[in-house]
Chain A
């Protein structure tokens, strides 16, 4: 204790204290944000799901989407969008929408799995549309190399070759795909949420979609073989890094090397 109190006026004490504070705050924040992560699961819909879903819809969605999901001037009709669209939009928290904007933002989900499933069952009952995909397509056990080729040809121009996301026009964007569940990836391809085009089964077969999911999960699990990936954003983050960190450290050394003269 005495040693500690003697060192308290050390020039580096303030820096050490600051680092400690940042570490504790950051650690607590990281713990707090990972505790509450959602898990998706699907079970078959029943008539009671449909009626419960109808009630949830009337209470939470009908303001914009209209009674019976027939649409209004603020939001499109949901007849025929299918269970997959609801599961994606509600399951990722994009719906109910946080605010008007270029596209719906991801946010903590508002409904639990059961409620989401009930909503999906209700909307699916209004008209035929893409269903929630079968679990056999979501096992991420397909051909990663083939999925990679499909991804580069169909997805990389917006989502980036490493699935790190990218910009679209007028504030719209393609999000990064790390951490997205296989089910949501599949549903996004089959329903085309926000500004994404629809990749129906004629475009990319269900096996192809499975391969893409396999590829995405594989590169996510692989991590970055070369060390920290700097966001997988390509030469811009690399250039920024060499200018700020690389040259910064070297300038610190040059100052040190020339500090004892004149």
Chain B
């Protein structure tokens, strides 16, 4: 071999740092990992960064949370406050609340860390939610990423659980009221509800065990599960590679973007500090969860404006929307000595159940309807999948109605309207809002598609009016460049897939249902301008001949 002469001389680094690096590399194989990961290409788009925000928020949570565990005592033993916040001096309270107050007022940097922890928690769940909305509306959950979508959904539930257990730990009036509501929801579960409640609280609510138990869940079990899910999630991201928005030169077989090293690593590393900086600024300047205002937990008082943190808000809102009685119709029954309180059970569990069931199964629902078994690495622009976008907005609207209902009292006081009217309107919107949102969104998406088609065919309106020699006025349309043109025409527009017979030559009822759904999904469509249409539009100025490129149903302009 020609390399034999050089192979005899072993490589020795010139500097001390180099020698240490080489020593480590020969044992760990770091350069191989770096070569593999450093070349990993990630596409660049602002909407791809919400997952990163969630990850960084979680890192901030781990760090600030560790600080808090040094000083927090999850005991429900009784004590009398003797710290420096005088409006609570000598008030009887639990050790947990006492230590939370001490963190806030008597431990250097304690209040800042508490606020960092809480703001980061709100941001963690918010960025997770926005990330999932981005994934949904761009169709990034399609093959091969269905399972990663499910992992993301599990992460959302875990994040909510982590948030709620943390919200309950300080044992102030607000968190105790929150626990009381959860206790009520658990007790409304038929037959086993009371048993679960007694098991969870170690007896009748509130007992003396719950804070310690929630603490273990909050700092050990749930974060460990979140960490595991994050590892699985990121592993799958590496395996699948990142999706990309449609553009020239981008297809399902490539990824166009920057390599991880050095550009992306630097950007991502910097972005961590940006997120940390934003959270730290919020924590330094804005109060969050002022537990000293609420006082120690006592089952008798309930403060006005008692709400859960935002991510549990939709469940609280659903509970607020549920009527206790409608005229003379009650929602509470006694069956064989067991109380069935549907006015708690239905709103607490059904909307959340529907949201998460649809969320987890949606990739398979769409896959079944479209019979699309191909891998997708190029994203859909939301307008190019009008029905999916409309479904997403309808679901989001439903969520937002319940979310708003959790703040119904504040809507009433701040907009000077009657609380009852707010509730009645939101009850109506609970049923009508999603339908309305679906119709409007679908129409908007189709209209945007038609606008895209118009621009692709006739170019951009320049606003320049030109008078021709024979007196006619026309507006000059400037043709798009190829990149912009591609964005407007380079997308798939599936047509409804009619029912097909199976291998026995039978069209099953299930298949007919699928075909009906496929029709519902795709019958309203605006086809992208074909090359022939583009050529026709650009060669002569007569637009009318190719004006209506819509297939299937004619869509009026």
Interface readout for B280-300 with A: 1 if CB under 8 Å, 0 if not?
A: 001111111110111100101
Expressed in whole angstroms, the minimum distance between the Cβ of A150 and any Cβ of chain B is 10
In the complex, the answer to whether B286 meets A228 with C-beta atoms within 8 Å is yes
Expressed in whole angstroms, the minimum distance between the Cβ of A34 and any Cβ of chain B is 23
CA of A235 to CA of B125, assembled, Å: 14
Which listed segment binds A: B25-33, B150-158, B410-418?
B410-418
Known contacts being A145-B88, A236-B406, is A246 close to B284, with CB within 8 Å?
A: no
Q: Does residue A22 face the partner (Cβ distance < 8 Å to B)?
A: no
In the complex, the answer to whether A145 meets B91 with C-beta atoms within 8 Å is yes
Q: Does residue B87 face the partner (Cβ distance < 8 Å to A)?
A: yes
Interface readout for B116-130 with A: 1 if CB under 8 Å, 0 if not?
A: 001100110011001
A158 contacts across to B, CB distance below 8 A: 304
In the complex, the answer to whether A247 meets B123 with C-beta atoms within 8 Å is yes
Expressed in whole angstroms, the minimum distance between the Cβ of B250 and any Cβ of chain A is 10
Q: In the complex, what residue of chain B is closest to A102 when comparing beta carbons?
A: B418
B292 contacts across to A, CB distance below 8 A: 225
Expressed in whole angstroms, the minimum distance between the Cβ of B255 and any Cβ of chain A is 13
CA of A253 to CA of B56, assembled, Å: 14
In-complex Cβ contact of B284 among A227, A253, A258 (8 A):
A227
Expressed in whole angstroms, the minimum distance between the Cβ of B478 and any Cβ of chain A is 21
CB within 8 Å of B: which of A105-157?
144-145, 148-149, 152-153, 156-157
Q: Does residue B46 face the partner (Cβ distance < 8 Å to A)?
A: yes
Expressed in whole angstroms, the minimum distance between the Cβ of A12 and any Cβ of chain B is 22
| In the complex, number of A-B residue pairs with CB atoms less than 8 Å apart | 205
In-complex Cβ contact of A236 among B173, B270, B305, B417 (8 A):
B305
B417 contacts across to A, CB distance below 8 A: 171
A241 contacts across to B, CB distance below 8 A: 282, 286
In the complex, the answer to whether B271 meets A257 with C-beta atoms within 8 Å is yes
Among A144, A242, A254, find the residue whose CB has the most chain B CB atoms closer than 10 A: A242
In the complex, the answer to whether B310 meets A148 with C-beta atoms within 8 Å is no
In the complex, the answer to whether B309 meets A245 with C-beta atoms within 8 Å is no
Expressed in whole angstroms, the minimum distance between the Cβ of B97 and any Cβ of chain A is 13
Q: Does residue B274 face the partner (Cβ distance < 8 Å to A)?
A: yes
Expressed in whole angstroms, the minimum distance between the Cβ of B427 and any Cβ of chain A is 15
Q: Does residue B409 face the partner (Cβ distance < 8 Å to A)?
A: yes
B294 contacts across to A, CB distance below 8 A: 161-162
B49 contacts across to A, CB distance below 8 A: 254, 257-258
CA of A244 to CA of B305, assembled, Å: 20
In the complex, the answer to whether B420 meets A169 with C-beta atoms within 8 Å is yes
Q: Does residue B247 face the partner (Cβ distance < 8 Å to A)?
A: yes
In-complex Cβ contact of A246 among B122, B257, B305 (8 A):
B122
Known contacts being A166-B409, A234-B174, A245-B282, is A152 close to B304, with CB within 8 Å?
A: no
Expressed in whole angstroms, the minimum distance between the Cβ of A70 and any Cβ of chain B is 32
Q: Does residue A232 face the partner (Cβ distance < 8 Å to B)?
A: yes
A174 contacts across to B, CB distance below 8 A: 304
Q: Does residue B302 face the partner (Cβ distance < 8 Å to A)?
A: yes
In-complex Cβ contact of B295 among A149, A235, A242 (8 A):
A149
CB within 8 Å of A: which of B290-329?
290, 292-295, 298, 300-310, 313
In the complex, the answer to whether A258 meets B310 with C-beta atoms within 8 Å is no
In-complex Cβ contact of B45 among A157, A225, A258 (8 A):
A258
In the complex, the answer to whether A235 meets B290 with C-beta atoms within 8 Å is no
Which listed segment binds B: A75-83, A199-207, A215-223?
A215-223
Q: Does residue A14 face the partner (Cβ distance < 8 Å to B)?
A: no
- How many residues of A sit at the interface, in one of the four size bands? 35 or more
In the complex, the answer to whether B247 meets A167 with C-beta atoms within 8 Å is no
Q: Does residue B219 face the partner (Cβ distance < 8 Å to A)?
A: no
B305 contacts across to A, CB distance below 8 A: 160-161, 164, 166, 233-234, 236
In the complex, the answer to whether B286 meets A247 with C-beta atoms within 8 Å is no
CB within 8 Å of A: which of B410-437?
410, 412-413, 416-421
In-complex Cβ contact of B87 among A157, A218, A226, A236 (8 A):
A218
Interface readout for A152-194 with B: 1 if CB under 8 Å, 0 if not?
A: 1100111111101111111101100000000000000000000
Q: Does residue B86 face the partner (Cβ distance < 8 Å to A)?
A: yes
B520 contacts across to A, CB distance below 8 A: none
In the complex, the answer to whether A145 meets B278 with C-beta atoms within 8 Å is no
Known contacts being A159-B304, A246-B122, is A261 close to B258, with CB within 8 Å?
A: yes
In-complex Cβ contact of B307 among A156, A234, A251, A253 (8 A):
A234
Q: Does residue A230 face the partner (Cβ distance < 8 Å to B)?
A: yes
Q: In the complex, what residue of chain A is closest to B295 when comparing beta carbons?
A: A152
In-complex Cβ contact of B293 among A162, A167, A171, A239 (8 A):
A162
B85 contacts across to A, CB distance below 8 A: 225
In the complex, the answer to whether B290 meets A226 with C-beta atoms within 8 Å is yes
Q: Does residue B552 face the partner (Cβ distance < 8 Å to A)?
A: no
A254 contacts across to B, CB distance below 8 A: 46-47, 49-50, 53, 271
In the complex, the answer to whether B119 meets A148 with C-beta atoms within 8 Å is no
In the complex, the answer to whether A228 meets B285 with C-beta atoms within 8 Å is yes
In-complex Cβ contact of A239 among B87, B247, B309 (8 A):
B309
In the complex, the answer to whether A160 meets B303 with C-beta atoms within 8 Å is yes
B122 contacts across to A, CB distance below 8 A: 238-239, 242, 246
In the complex, the answer to whether A157 meets B301 with C-beta atoms within 8 Å is yes
Interface readout for B420-458 with A: 1 if CB under 8 Å, 0 if not?
A: 110000000000000000000000000000000000000
Q: Does residue A3 face the partner (Cβ distance < 8 Å to B)?
A: no
Q: Does residue B168 face the partner (Cβ distance < 8 Å to A)?
A: no
In-complex Cβ contact of B287 among A230, A249, A253, A262 (8 A):
A230
In-complex Cβ contact of A242 among B87, B307, B310, B408 (8 A):
B310
In the complex, the answer to whether A242 meets B284 with C-beta atoms within 8 Å is no
In-complex Cβ contact of B310 among A215, A239, A253 (8 A):
A239
In the complex, the answer to whether B123 meets A156 with C-beta atoms within 8 Å is no
Q: In the complex, what residue of chain A is closest to B300 when comparing beta carbons?
A: A153
CA of A236 to CA of B409, assembled, Å: 10
In-complex Cβ contact of A167 among B282, B301, B412 (8 A):
B412
In the complex, the answer to whether B310 meets A243 with C-beta atoms within 8 Å is yes
CA of A160 to CA of B413, assembled, Å: 12
Q: In the complex, what residue of chain A is closest to B294 when comparing beta carbons?
A: A161
Interface readout for A15-30 with B: 1 if CB under 8 Å, 0 if not?
A: 0000000000000000
In the complex, the answer to whether A253 meets B412 with C-beta atoms within 8 Å is no
Q: Does residue B105 face the partner (Cβ distance < 8 Å to A)?
A: yes
In the complex, the answer to whether A156 meets B303 with C-beta atoms within 8 Å is yes
Q: In the complex, what residue of chain B is closest to A165 when comparing beta carbons?
A: B413
CA of A212 to CA of B310, assembled, Å: 31
In-complex Cβ contact of B419 among A169, A240, A246, A255 (8 A):
A169
Q: Does residue A250 face the partner (Cβ distance < 8 Å to B)?
A: yes
In the complex, the answer to whether A157 meets B88 with C-beta atoms within 8 Å is no
In the complex, the answer to whether A167 meets B410 with C-beta atoms within 8 Å is yes
Q: Does residue A63 face the partner (Cβ distance < 8 Å to B)?
A: no
9 examples of A-B residue contacts, CB within 8 angstroms: A145-B88, A169-B419, A225-B104, A226-B287, A230-B286, A232-B290, A236-B406, A253-B278, A257-B271
Binding site for A on B (CB under 8 A): 44-50, 53, 85-91, 104-105, 111, 115, 118-119, 122-123, 126-127, 130, 173-174, 247, 257-258, 267, 270-271, 274-275, 278-279, 282-290, 292-295, 298, 300-310, 313, 406-410, 412-413, 416-421
> Other CB < 8 Å A-B pairs besides A153-B298, A167-B408, A250-B278, 12 of them?
A145-B90, A161-B293, A171-B416, A171-B417, A224-B287, A224-B290, A225-B104, A227-B287, A235-B174, A238-B289, A239-B310, A257-B267
